[in-house]
Amino acid sequence: MSNNRPIPPATLRWLGGAPGQCALRAMAAEGSEATPALIERWRRRLPAEYVGAAFTQITLRRRARAKFTRADDMLFDAEGLEQASGEIVATYKAQRFAGLRRVVDLCCGIGGDSLAIAGYCDVVAVDRDATRVALTLHNAAAYGRANRIAGICADVTTWYPPGDAMHIDPSRREGGRRRHRIAEAQPPPAFLDQLVASEPAVAIKLGPAADFDAIAHWNAEIELISEDGECRQAVAWCGRLRRVHRSATVLPSAERIEVADEAGLAPPPQGELRVGDILVEPDAAVIRAHLVGEMARRFGLHGIDPKLAYLAGREPIVSRLGTCFRVVETGPWSLATVRRRLKAQGIGRIEIKTRGFVADPADLAARLRLEGDQRGVLVVTRVHGRPMYVLSHRVLVQPEMENRPS
């Protein structure tokens, strides 16, 4: 069975029942690959459609382990898994609903956000796809939260149940293609506008690359959330859920930076980059939230180029909001010069980072033809418009603030 084909209702009932769950565990225990021989052996015991569906679930469960701690007990469809909030991000977001009685999760998908919100209050999971609703309810049982989540199959643009707050994850995919423009989302922007205008508390999940200027009329807090350095999603917190104007949160530490108004988005002051300085690369969420300037002001840093996100200062910052590098050497970019300097220092194992400089780090590494057993970090970037190289090493000063869900 193709990962993207709908799951027939009878097959879904079998997958979610005791016989299907036993078969899934037995199949998974027999090997990591669905070989023709293994498939044929199982087809002698089960209908072909069950076998295909089961092996698809085994593949999806392996993929889902990166998002969910209980992936091996859950059920998925490929697109729903791809779009679902992972457990760490969803658990963080769900805290903002604490104290409410009931949250309605519109366009719930396979239930990533519903499962997390149900840790704080009752949830009504709504989706126009009956299969997705069934997947959410199965997954709720996998997390021991079946008594906190009710499922409804409905087109949210025509009706949805009342609640103290709404969470919605508009679809941003069509034919397997990820869409970034809010204008291309489903439900469409007109419905989202109406939802924000009519409901007292609304959270709208968006892609990190969304055009935030297009939703300025929502008067929302736009929060960018990263996990392990990768910007995962944006959330528009509207109405009573809004706290500030713009924010960025890095997970799993949950360290956060925020500004109260548009003035807080001002760019950082500019300065020089000198040997011995600390070069700071802000987290992806900070960059996407346009909070590099606020980060500079918080930690006493300055920019090194008005078009780039790198910051610099004299001392390392004790924060998960950025990564620190001690500058050992810097100069105008030249492949020959850098090759000679790395060789002189015996650097043979190099991490290459580029920003504002069109080059593939792997290609650069090959062209440098490095030898030696010393380690280093090569940053190829622009400093006040000039292409420069920066030799450095990582400074590991960040506190241990991880708070992964159990």
**Parallel, antiparallel, or unpaired: how do β-strands 246-251 and 255-259 relate?**
antiparallel
E strand or H helix at 127: strand 122-127
- For residue 228, pLDDT beyond 70: yes
Q: What's the confidence (pLDDT) of residue 181?
A: 75
Task: Give burial (CB, 10 Å; 0-12/13-18/19+) of 100.
Answer: middle
Using one digit for the tens of pLDDT, what is the confidence trace for 347-365? 989 999 999 988 889 999 8
Using one digit for the tens of pLDDT, what is the confidence trace for 196-227? 999 999 999 999 999 999 999 999 999 999 99
Nearest to 305 by CA among 393, 381, 361, 360: 381
- For residue 385, pLDDT beyond 60: yes
Residues 87 and 97: their CA atoms lie apart, in Å, by 16
Mark 64-95 as b/e (b = at least 16 C-beta within 10 Å): beebbeebbbbbbbbbbbbbbbbbbbbbbbbe
Q: What's the confidence (pLDDT) of residue 69?
A: 97
Q: How confident is the model at residue 31 (pLDDT cuts 50, 70, 90)?
A: confident
Residues 138 and 272: their CA atoms lie apart, in Å, by 57
Average pLDDT over residues 99-105: 98
Residues 115 and 123: their CA atoms lie apart, in Å, by 9
Q: What's the confidence (pLDDT) of residue 404?
A: 44
**Residue 3 in tokens:** 């990962």
Share of the chain above pLDDT 90, in %: 86
Q: Is residue 269 reached through a cis peptide bond, with omega within 30 degrees of 0 on the bond before it?
A: no
Classify the C-alpha dihedral 206-212-216-222 as positive or negative.
Answer: positive
Residues 398 and 278: their CA atoms lie apart, in Å, by 14
Q: What's the confidence (pLDDT) of residue 400?
A: 53
The average confidence (pLDDT) of the chain is 93
- For residue 8, pLDDT beyond 80: yes
Q: What's the confidence (pLDDT) of residue 1?
A: 36
Residues 59 and 31: their CA atoms lie apart, in Å, by 11
HSE of 205, CA atoms in CB hemisphere, 13 A = 26
**Residue 400 in tokens:** 């241990």
**pTM of the predicted model as reported, rounded to 2 decimal places:** 0.91
Residues 361 and 53: their CA atoms lie apart, in Å, by 41
